[in-house]
Amino acid sequence: MKTQAKKTIAIDMDGVIADVEPQLIKYYEQQYGVTTTLEAIQGLSHAEAFPLDAITKASLNMPGFFRDLPLMPGAIEAVKKLMEDYEVYIVSAATEFPLSLFEKLEWLKEHFPFISWRNVVLCGDKSIINTDYMIDDHCKNLDFCPGKAIMFNAHHNKHEHQHVRVHNWDEVLELFENERSKSELSI
């Protein structure tokens, strides 16, 4: 049997393995005294959902914002499972927010200690990232992916329909289970 290199998956952080929406709501309220809810921001862009923060993105530049983001439910178990068959890279658009870089590594070390620093990419745009799959919540990232693009559902991407959509990590695992069945059929 020929040994083949594992196929690669680029997995985004914010909105995919880290649940950024409740944190945005919390910081927005603390900074601007305006309360919103998960329900209220569905279908809105970031700028529409958090208009007072749209220009400065001050919330995202506050120390601690990225360090204690809640986990997306099921992410740890699902990533572990995917790593059995795929080479998984965490690819996060982070260089816009310099304070986030160290915090993101610390967050990963806490929640995903089984992911090596070798497999972490903190970048600006993702246009030079080349993986067989990319799981992300932004079209601006997925549109460049030379492999299969998978859109993770988020409040701001409800109206984007050019990529396969998953709503949670169970659906990600289902999708990869189907990919495996397809590739077994084609052997």
Of 64-72, 116-124, 152-160, 172-180, the segment contacting its own copies by CB under 8 A is 116-124
Which residues 131-170 are close enough to bind its own copies by CB under 8 A?
131, 146
Helix (H) or strand (E) holding 131: none
| Minimum distance of its own copies from residue 159's CB (angstroms) | 24
Closest to its own copies by CB, 25 or 134: 134
DSSP label of 163: S
Binds its own copies by CB under 8 A, chosen from 71, 99, 173, 175: 99
In this chain, which of 128, 159, 184, 187 binds its own copies, going by CB under 8 A? Answer: 128
Exactly one of 121, 139, 173, 175 binds its own copies (CB under 8 A); which one?
Answer: 121
Is-contact 104 94, C-beta < 8 A? Answer: yes
> DSSP class of residue 59?
G
CA 178 to chain centre: 21
Record the tokens describing residue 176, joined without a space: 């990869």
Applying CB under 8 A, does 129 fall inside the site for its own copies?
yes
| CB closer to its own copies out of 120 and 151 | 120
Determine whether 14 is an active site residue: yes
Q: In residues, how long is the chain?
A: 187
* Nearest Cα residue to 142 out of 157, 53, 155: 157
